[in-house]
Amino acid sequence: MVRFVLLMFLTVNAYAAESTVDIDTAAKIYQGAAIREQVRASLGAMPEHVRQLFAADTSVRLSDPQLAAVTAAAVRGFRIDVFEAPALQVFAEHLDTATVNKTQAFLGSDSGRRMVAADLALATLGESNIDKVMNGETTAPSTPKRDVIFDKLERATRSTESTVQIFLSMGQAVAVGTAVGSGLDRVAVEERAHKSGEASRAGLEENMRLPMRRFMSYGYRDLSDSDLKHILAFMESPAGKRYVAAYNAALGAGFDAMGRRTGEQLGESLRELALAQMSRPPEDLPPAGIAAPPALLPHTTRPSAAPNP
């Protein structure tokens, strides 16, 4: 029995070793799919998005210096160098050699190259244009047959689930990072953020599915029906499913790291602001009866629009 258990242990570990690839190999797929360029294009707007989320929270009113600290922390946290290391690590862990070979073949095909070019164009579309597309104000001509393909593509790529997961994990990471930076109870904050996120997950996915289909339909408007069928065939294949899982896991890990870094920076800044306020001379303090801005409580809020992964 001991020998059997040992054999099973070695077999599982051997399989695990074979089921992943090294960072350099994963980086080739990462580069071929233009993930860095797509993520980098989304980062410029993130500080303002994060500031708006905190400013819109009616349970906690932040002062102008506190909101400025939120923006500054997001600028330092949402950077491609913070994203890339954890994203590549997780990407490699979710790939295997067979998936890499088939993914490289797909990305090198005419349809694959056109898909990546369309993804890049979407990533650089601009915030106002993205909002118009997702709200249905800007549309692309379509047909019932293409609509069916886009419905299948959206589900095959799990774009809605991935977008919602990124928002939830990023919000939780900001909350935990803020707790660490400001000396709060990390476990309690993490549990509260996780519970809040899970309670809103189903509703977020329901609200995001149609906008994500609109986004995909507009982004791929110049791709032929043949291109779309080729893309769908790959995404629904075993290699494509593993690639999708690896891609989404990598995005999640990278945005989680950026959220955590933002939270840590924010926690430190808020603590410094609190200490500075405590050390102010009496003549600079607000008159009696006027409450000082409350301390920031880590939280996860509902996003108004999805990021472009």
In sequence order, the 6+-apart residues with CB closer than 8 A to the CB of 113 are 107
Res. 291: pLDDT tops 90: no
In sequence order, the 6+-apart residues with CB closer than 8 A to the CB of 82 are 254, 257, 258, 261
**Per-residue model confidence as pLDDT tens digits over 29-81:** 999 999 999 999 989 888 988 888 778 766 667 788 888 998 999 999 999 99
In sequence order, the 6+-apart residues with CB closer than 8 A to the CB of 90 are 246, 249, 250, 252, 253, 254
Give me the percent of the chain exceeding a pLDDT of 70: 81
Angle at 295 between CA 68 and CA 164, to 5 degrees: 70
Q: How far apart are CA 59 and CA 283, in angstroms?
A: 29
Q: How far apart are CA 82 and CA 167, in angstroms?
A: 17
Q: At 270, which amino acid appears?
A: L
Residue keyed to tokens 């291109």: 227
Q: What share of the chain is helix, strand, coil (3-state, %, to 5)?
A: 75, 0, 25
- Where residue 28 falls among pLDDT bands split at 50, 70, 90? very high
- Where residue 174 falls among pLDDT bands split at 50, 70, 90? confident
**Per-residue model confidence as pLDDT tens digits over 81-126:** 999 999 999 999 999 999 999 999 999 999 999 999 999 999 998 8
